A and B are shown apart, each in its own frame.
Chain A
Amino acid sequence: MARPHHLAAAAAVAGLASAAAAPTLGAQARPAAAVAGGGRAPSEAQLLRGRALVLNHGCGDCHGGSPDPASEGFLAGYRPDAVPSLEFRIGPCADRPDAQPCFRTRPRNLTPDNATGTGRFTERQLFNALRYGLRPGETPDVEITGTTPGQGNFPAHPKYLAPPMPWPAFRHMADQELRDIAAYLKHAVAPVRNRVPDSEGPPDFWASAYTVALIGPYPAAPFPTAREQRPTLARAVRGTGDRSAPPPRR
């Protein structure tokens, strides 16, 4: 685990001097154990929770082509030689190759490499990506407290992760789960240098595709919505093996 590398990268993101490189810094020096965003160094328990979530949500399937954390390229993102392809065609061209518009998107390198991965992004930026769909390279590193553009630090012109990243589903995970995933990605994965070609997209960075009307609100509407129902008492009784009774009338 390349822990010193992550810590140096984390300190550097704050724009302060790297203690390892400078001969004298005085008050500008940052303690080596500092983590960008002001957080504590993560515990092994948190990292393992994050790992479990990354595994059971299949992140590696797209971001590297394998669910196996021991596989080469795990979470390192799109590779041109992957079979099946890790490149997605979004738009009418998904069905008809020559149709327009056609946007080719590619899963990002999620390892904490500084130049090609997430090394220069904070855990908070990764959290904001999973919770709100906001691209770390286009969104300030700030606490976001709402989903209305222009309010609560939610950007007035949001720039979203490209489809088919299922963040509209992942956003419904608990806060702690998303933080655990961010901690695992930042601290427990070896950095891999893999430059993924930039994903294409419309000039509005998918804002018209990720409206509340299309993906629903966050948090989700309370249960039960019009498409859901509460179970009745009879249906909720655990089975006793007595199959002679007719099913209850609705």
Chain B
Amino acid sequence: MPRSHPLSVRTAVAAALALQVAAAPSTPPAAPARAGPAARTVELTLTAAPARLALRDGGDTTDVWAYDGRVPGPTLDLREGDRVVVHFRNRLPEASTIHWHGLTLPFVADGSPFHPVPPGGSHDYVFTVPRGTAGTYWYHPHPDHRTGAQVARGLYGAIVVRAPDDPLPASLPEHVLVLSDNRFRPGGAIDIADPASPAGRVDAENGREGDVVFVSGRVMPALAIRSGEVQRWRIVNASAARVYRLALEGHRLLHVGSDGGLFARGVERGELTLGVGERAEVLVRGTGAPGTRALLRALPYDRYIPQTRPADWATPRDLLALRYDDGPPVAPPALPEVLRPVAPLDTGRVAARRVMVLTQHLINGKHMDMARVDVRARLGTTEIWEVENLVGMDHPFHLHGFRFQVLDRNGVPEPFPSWKDVVNVPKHETARFVVRFDGFAGKWMYHCHILDHEDHGMMGVLEVRP
């Protein structure tokens, strides 16, 4: 039974992040077979344009590039089965695209470097959200060699896809936390180093990091909670390179979902590491006393090669303050033990096993070449990919167009299947995943999601044919 929700999207931490859905739910003339009980069309316009915003409270205004004048862009609130029509207007001074990170959609709607939208141009992204893909996703530009430059200037936003049969109670307060870091020059300008400068060379190795961490566009925001309450957090790592090793003071997190949605069961964790591009759904149980406060922090995490490891890498960073209000505790809601069963992909009939060797800026010893296809596969087949990271820094491996299930890391089997589209492979480690090419034919990128690395060509092309 689809639950009703207002047209304005659930608010993220900053109250200003409300999406105005342009069209009311409509009855399509012939609902696609997989659209579900109440298919609707969600039609909206997204404009990427220069803007001038105050990114930090009390700080200077900053020249940014923004979707619809806000950083991050509006959160899209979608349902399984929605037919989505996004009118993209590119008012930037250079070509851009919108890549719908993690969604299964036609090749021409992927927003990859194969389909750039010229400056001043427009493009309609049209796709249907498949059944069974409820989860947390995000969108950002993906033009050839310029992804890092455009995301750094403020172009990114979150996507929530809801299932009609979501097992978690609709009454749980929900927050979408989009993590992003940046750095600024005196006067407020975004500091993007000259590629030829020493700082630019460091950015090329590490990926560009900044000392200011934003949570949905706010620095150290406060989130309110009541004792006894359970909140549902959808966390997106939208940083260019930073890995977040998250811990909430005095609380254990119940990890209930990954990039591609809920697990079968929640997992208790004292901390949760989120690589670039990854998402997590967690339940935060309000076990604190009224009037107290708990910080969500990013603990030290060494993802760096020795040559360019920042001197302050071990500094923990405070992300947000969870503030318990003074009211009397409420009874915690009942939560189901079983969330969403995830059937493991069949590894018994595998069409190919491939090895993706990651070295610095290279996959299998090569840079990306738009004119070259690196891997050929057939629609409907299943493959196992082993991602081997041979160098001394983490590389988050992302595949467009198809979700996968991680089988094992360093030979140790994953405890349960879950849907992902990014797997962070730490330095000198390996990860194996199984993927079924059950989406659409086309040319699909796979790449390291450290934006400077993908811009430097740490990417390849998978061509899937019928």
Q: How far is the CB of B455 from chain A (nearest CB, A)?
A: 14
Q: Which segment, of B28-36, B61-69, B388-396, faces chain A?
A: B388-396
Binds A, one of B17-25, B81-89, B268-276, B360-368: B360-368
Q: Which residues of B contact A82 (CB under 8 A)?
A: none
Do A24 and B365 form a contact, CB below 8 Å, given A15-B356, A15-B374, A203-B308? no
Provide 20 A-B residue pairs closer than 8 Å at the C-beta atoms, listed in order of the A residue: A13-B357, A13-B364, A15-B357, A18-B353, A21-B353, A22-B350, A116-B428, A120-B357, A121-B365, A125-B365, A137-B359, A138-B362, A140-B367, A141-B362, A198-B306, A198-B391, A201-B307, A203-B201, A203-B202, A203-B308
Chain B residues within 8 Å of A115, by CB: 388, 390, 428, 430
Q: Encode B83-124 as 1/0 by CB contact (under 8 A) with A.
A: 000000000000000000000000000000000000000000
Evaluate contact between A17 and B359: CB separation under 8 angstroms: no
- Docked-complex contact B306 and A157, CB < 8 angstroms: no
B357, B427, B460 interface centre (most CB from chain A within 10 Å): B357
Which residue of the partner chain B has the closest CB to A114? Answer: B388
CA distance A21 to B384 in the complex (A): 10
Determine how close the nearest CB of chain A comes to the CB of B215; give it in whole angstroms. Answer: 30
Interface residues in chain A, defined as those with a beta carbon under 8 Å from any beta carbon in chain B: 12-18, 21-25, 28, 114-116, 120-122, 125, 136-138, 140-141, 157, 159, 195, 198-205
How many chain B residues touch the partner (CB < 8 A)? Answer: 38
B431 to chain A, nearest CB (A): 13
A136 to B355, CA, bound (A): 17
Which residues from chain B contact A122 at a C-beta distance below 8 Å?
365
Contact A198 B367 (CB under 8 A): no
Q: A138-B359, A157-B201 are in contact. Are A200 and B306 (CB under 8 A)?
A: yes
Query: Chain B 194-235 against A: per-residue CB contact (8 Å), 1 yes, 0 no?
Result: 000010011011000000000000000000000000000000
In the complex, the answer to whether A18 meets B307 with C-beta atoms within 8 Å is: no
* Alpha-carbon separation in the docked complex, A93 to B352 (Å): 51
Minimum CB–CB distance from A163 to chain B (whole Å) comes to 13
Report the separation of the CA atoms of residues A12 and B375 in the bound assembly, to the nearest whole angstrom: 12
B364 touches A28 (CB 8 A): no
Complexed CA–CA distance, A114 and B386 (Å): 12
**Residue B354, interface by CB 8 Å:** yes
Quick check: B355 and A15 within 8 Å, CB to CB?
Answer: yes
Which of A15, A24, A116, A137 is the one whose CB lies under 8 Å from B360?
A137
Which A residues lie within 8 Å of B360 (CB)?
137-138, 159
Docked-complex contact A201 and B355, CB < 8 angstroms:
no
- Which residues of B lie under 8 Å from residue A25 when comparing CB positions? 351-352
The interface residues of chain A lying within 8 Å CB-to-CB of B460 are 15
B185: CB under 8 A from chain A? no
Which residues from chain A contact B356 at a C-beta distance below 8 Å?
A: 15
Residues of A within 8 A of B361 (CB): 138
CB distance from A160 to the nearest CB of B (A): 11
Tell me the bound Cα distance from A172 to B54 in angstroms.
Answer: 59
Interchain CB contact under 8 A, B353 and A22: yes
Would you call B352 and A17 a contact (CB within 8 A)? Answer: yes
User: Are B366 and A198 neighbours in the complex by a CB distance under 8 Å?
Assistant: no
Q: Mark B367-380, 1 if CB is under 8 A from A, else 0.
A: 10000001110000
Which chain A positions have C-beta within 8 A of B390? 115, 120, 137
Q: In the complex the two chains form, is A13's CB within 8 Å of B355's CB?
A: yes
Closest to B202 in A: A203
Bound state CA distance, A17 and B360, in angstroms?
23
Is the beta-carbon distance between A23 and B388 smaller than 8 angstroms?
Answer: no
Q: Chain B residues with Cβ under 8 A from A12's Cβ?
A: 354-355, 357
